[in-house]
Amino acid sequence: MDDVLERLEQLRKEAEEALAQASTREESEAWYSRYLGRKGAITQVMRTLGKLPPELRPVVGRTANQLKAQLESLLKERQEAIAQAEIEAALSAEGVDVTLPGRPQSVGKLHPTTAILREIYRIFGQMGFQVYDAPEVETDEYNFELLNIPEGHPARDMWDTFYTTTPGLILRTHTSPGQIHAMREYAPEPIRVILPGKCYRHEDVTARSEMMFYQVEGLAVGERITFSDLKGVLVSFAEQMFGEGRRLRFRKSYFPFTEPSVEVDVDCVLCGGKGCRVCKYTGWLEILGAGMVNPVVLKNGGYDPARYTGFAFGMGPERIAMLKYGIDDIRYFYTNDVRFLERVG
């Protein structure tokens, strides 16, 4: 009997030591079959019970059962420890270190044209101008005829036009046709509107001209509106857009839809008027065209020119952005190069 009990005691030691060595689930399972499985060492001992003298069987049987139960609970503990260690290993291998600094979010930015447009809306908004949306696909009638540019008029050469396959339907070459839409909607009420949007010209794309670009048209119609009002509005605009103390120059010009017409220059933002490459050594930068609304156009818009007068102007926001930020090529605006978009505006 001592033999069997000793054997069990020996197995206990051996099994406990072996279990302490098991460091994976597989090893713990192998350990189970080695000691407790159907062919395991302890099972084998229990099988020999029948061969022992009857009086010894209870003692040996009890001892063997206790050992089995004890080893089973040790195995359970060991397997839990292994599972816990596996979780910890996985966490530290791929886990989150909450003390690391966060990854910076890339912050979006307004496109330079959008930034300038919003600035334009703000400035004219303060002076009582509302934004009026007009179509980009226009009729020949609105784009030209109603603006006093009849078929065959030499002034049509000022705008190289994209025609559509539908006769009379074109892409607007300027925002001026929006003047007619706004006037026809509100006449004979006084109006103060700006008309922003895309324009299209069939031109060679160069550093100075794109096929698609924005314009912002301005229009004020009412009684007793004079050229001084136009000057006041434009001077205020230039100061807010380019900075206090800017000088403006009004040069006489020609547009079929205004009479008289002017082109307006601001003293060069880069050299302050001394003369540089950007202003081509003139000290001046052209920013817009303007004038008093031609009576023909007022009439086409539904206003009696004997009673109403108005002024209008048209400017290019990309050009304003170029002057303000020192950009020397208009093609940067719509090539979607993020290096440009990130830096400007």
Site residues (vs ligand DAH, CB under 6 A): 174, 176, 217, 255, 258, 289-291, 312-314
Residue 46 per-residue DSSP state: H
Query: Is residue 221 within 8 Å of residue 258, measured between CB atoms?
Result: no
Of 31 and 303, nearer to ligand DAH (C-beta) is 303
d(CA 202, CA 161): 5
Tell me whether strands 191-200 and 130-131 are parallel, antiparallel or unpaired.
parallel
Of 40 and 289, nearer to ligand DAH (C-beta) is 289
Instruction: Give the shortest CB-199-to-ligand DAH separation in angstroms.
Output: 7
Query: Is residue 300 within 8 Å of residue 292, measured between CB atoms?
Result: no
* Lookup: tokens for 35: 């000691």
| Residue reference for tokens 């007619």 | 180
Instruction: Give the shortest CB-244-to-ligand DAH separation in angstroms.
Output: 26
Of 11 and 293, nearer to ligand DAH (C-beta) is 293
Of 197 and 291, nearer to ligand DAH (C-beta) is 291
Helix (H, G, I), strand (E, B) or coil at 29: helix
Of 37 and 305, nearer to ligand DAH (C-beta) is 305
Nearest to 217 by CA among 112, 279, 143: 143
Query: Is residue 289 within 8 Å of residue 306, measured between CB atoms?
Result: no
Of 197 and 314, nearer to ligand DAH (C-beta) is 314
Instruction: Give the shortest CB-276-to-ligand DAH separation in angstroms.
Output: 25
Of 289 and 301, nearer to ligand DAH (C-beta) is 289
Instruction: Give the shortest CB-181-to-ligand DAH separation in angstroms.
Output: 14
Instruction: Give the shortest CB-103-to-ligand DAH separation in angstroms.
Output: 46
Instruction: Give the shortest CB-342-to-ligand DAH separation in angstroms.
Output: 30
Instruction: Give the shortest CB-133-to-ligand DAH separation in angstroms.
Output: 17
Query: Is residue 68 within 8 Å of residue 37, measured between CB atoms?
Result: no
Q: How many residues belong to the chain?
A: 345
Report in angstroms the alpha-carbon separations of 156 from 37, 113, 173, 185, 311. Answer: 100, 27, 10, 26, 21
Query: Is residue 289 within 8 Å of residue 313, measured between CB atoms?
Result: yes
Helix (H, G, I), strand (E, B) or coil at 250: strand
Query: Is residue 11 within 8 Å of residue 45, measured between CB atoms?
Result: yes
Which amino acid, residue 250?
F
Nearest to 265 by CA among 49, 143, 165, 280: 280
* Lookup: tokens for 196: 């922003």
Residue nearest to ligand DAH (CB): 314
Instruction: Give the shortest CB-201-to-ligand DAH separation in angstroms.
Output: 9
Of 56 and 235, nearer to ligand DAH (C-beta) is 235
Name the β-bridge partners of 252: 262
Of 147 and 344, nearer to ligand DAH (C-beta) is 147
Instruction: Give the shortest CB-218-to-ligand DAH separation in angstroms.
Output: 7
Query: Is residue 189 within 8 Å of residue 216, measured between CB atoms?
Result: no
Which amino acid, residue 146?
L
